[in-house]
């Protein structure tokens, strides 16, 4: 155990906060946080020092204190920049998180209502893929994808338990995606999906509806549910327009 240095100019509460933050980052504390009394006895400091350290960690969004229940670890959210095309597998890999999937369904079927999005008739044949996506040992998303059979049939023999579906499309089907659109809105999942995502009843998730294209042709129609407590979308603007009152007027002269 790392000891506190009482001769250091750094306040004891700040030293304790840094030690506890390191334990959180290393996964040594994963769910229920030690009580104030346990921290007082473990580190030989006053209750005031412990409370200041916990207050600092709470302000950083690392802990949640619930009256009468104790202190709990707040798991960080995975950030997804919305700068263009993206993939959950790429996002997790960029953040050093192991990504894997459980393939719940992989079959041929009629497109049905998905046909409109794929620009096919309802009785056309599709490849349907349903995957339960994991970040480490924790479920993070449910993906349900419909793809035209004539394009995606090789995926029936592919190992889809890891990696991006778009990597598999490129490797097994020779299809590279270069366009698409997506809509995102909050929903409360039904009981079955909430259990698959390990979400408490009533907790919200993001619902994503995506259409991807290759040279104008629709390749995939997807519905995804993503845990709202572990995922967030980030948008960056290259520039921000001035308010109307601050804009400099100009004159266009037409000969």
Looking at residue 76, what is its pLDDT?
A: 58
Distance CA 174, CA 167 (A): 10
The pLDDT of residue 161 is 94
Q: SS3 for the chain, per residue?
A: CCCCCCCCCCCHHHHHHHHHHHHHHCCCCCCECCCHHHHHHHHCCCHHHHHHHHHHHHHCCCEEEECCCEEEECCCCEEEECCCCCCHHHHHHHCCCCEEEEEEEEEEEECHHHHHHHCCCCCCEEEEEEEEEEECCEEEEEEEEEEEHHHHHHHHHCCCCCCCHHHHHHHHHCCCCCEEEEEEEEECCCHHHHHHCCCCCCCCEEEEEEEEEECCEEEEEEEEEEECCCEEEECCCCCCCCCHHHCCCCCCCCC
List per-residue pLDDT tens for the chain, 255 residues long: 567 777 777 778 888 888 887 777 666 766 667 888 888 888 888 888 888 888 877 766 677 766 666 676 666 555 545 555 556 665 666 666 778 999 999 999 998 888 888 999 989 999 999 999 998 888 989 999 999 999 999 999 999 998 889 999 999 999 999 888 888 888 888 889 999 999 888 888 888 888 999 999 999 999 999 888 777 666 666 665 656 555 545 444 443
Which pLDDT belongs to residue 147? 97
Kindly report, residue by residue over 123-170, the tens digit of the pLDDT: 999 999 999 999 888 898 999 999 999 999 999 999 999 888 999 999
Q: What is the CATH number of domain 12-73?
A: 1.10.10.10
Q: Give the position of tokens 């778009």.
A: 166
Neighbours of 158 (CB within 10 A): 18
**Residue 17: alpha-carbon gap to chain centroid:** 27
Cα 254 to Cα 46, 72, 175, 250, 251: the distances in Å are: 77, 67, 49, 13, 10
Q: Domain-by-domain residue ranges, the chain?
A: 12-73, 78-234
CATH code of the domain occupying 78-234: 3.40.1410.10
Residue 251 pLDDT: 45
What is the torsional sign of CA 209, 214, 216, 219? Answer: negative
Quick check: do 12-73 and 78-234 share a fold?
Answer: no
**In terms of pTM, does the model score above 0.85?**
no
Rounded Cα distance between 193 and 114, Å, is 20
Q: State how far the alpha carbon of 11 is from the alpha carbons of 4, 61, 184, in Å.
A: 10, 21, 45
């Amino acid at each position: 155990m790392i000891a506190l240095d009482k001769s250091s100019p750094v306040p004891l509460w700040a030293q304790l906060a840094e030690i506890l933050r390191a334990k959180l980052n290393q996964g040594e504390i994963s769910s229920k946080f030690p009580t104030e009394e346990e921290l007082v006895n473990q580190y030989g400091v006053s209750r005031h020092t412990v409370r200041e350290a916990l207050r600092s960690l709470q302000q950083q969004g690392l802990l949640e204190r619930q009256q009468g229940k104790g202190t709990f670890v707040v798991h960080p959210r995975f950030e997804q920049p919305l700068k263009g095309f993206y993939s959950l597998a790429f996002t997790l890999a960029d953040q050093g998180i192991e990504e894997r999937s459980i393939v719940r369904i992989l079959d041929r079927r009629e497109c049905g209502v998905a046909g409109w999005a794929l620009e096919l008739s309802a009785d056309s044949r599709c490849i349907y893929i349903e995957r339960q996506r994991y970040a480490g040992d924790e479920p993070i998303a449910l993906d349900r994808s419909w793809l035209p059979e004539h394009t995606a049939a090789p995926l029936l023999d592919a190992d889809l338990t890891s990696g991006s579906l778009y990597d598999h499309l490129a490797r097994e089907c020779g299809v590279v995606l270069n366009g698409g659109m997506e809509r995102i809105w909050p929903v409360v999942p039904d009981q079955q999906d909430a259990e698959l995502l390990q979400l408490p009843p009533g907790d919200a998730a993001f619902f994503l509806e995506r259409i991807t294209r290759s040279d104008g042709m629709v390749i995939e129609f997807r519905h995804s549910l993503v845990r709202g407590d572990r995922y967030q979308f980030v948008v960056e603007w290259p520039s921000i327009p001035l308010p109307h009152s601050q804009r400099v007027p100009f004159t266009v002269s037409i000969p």
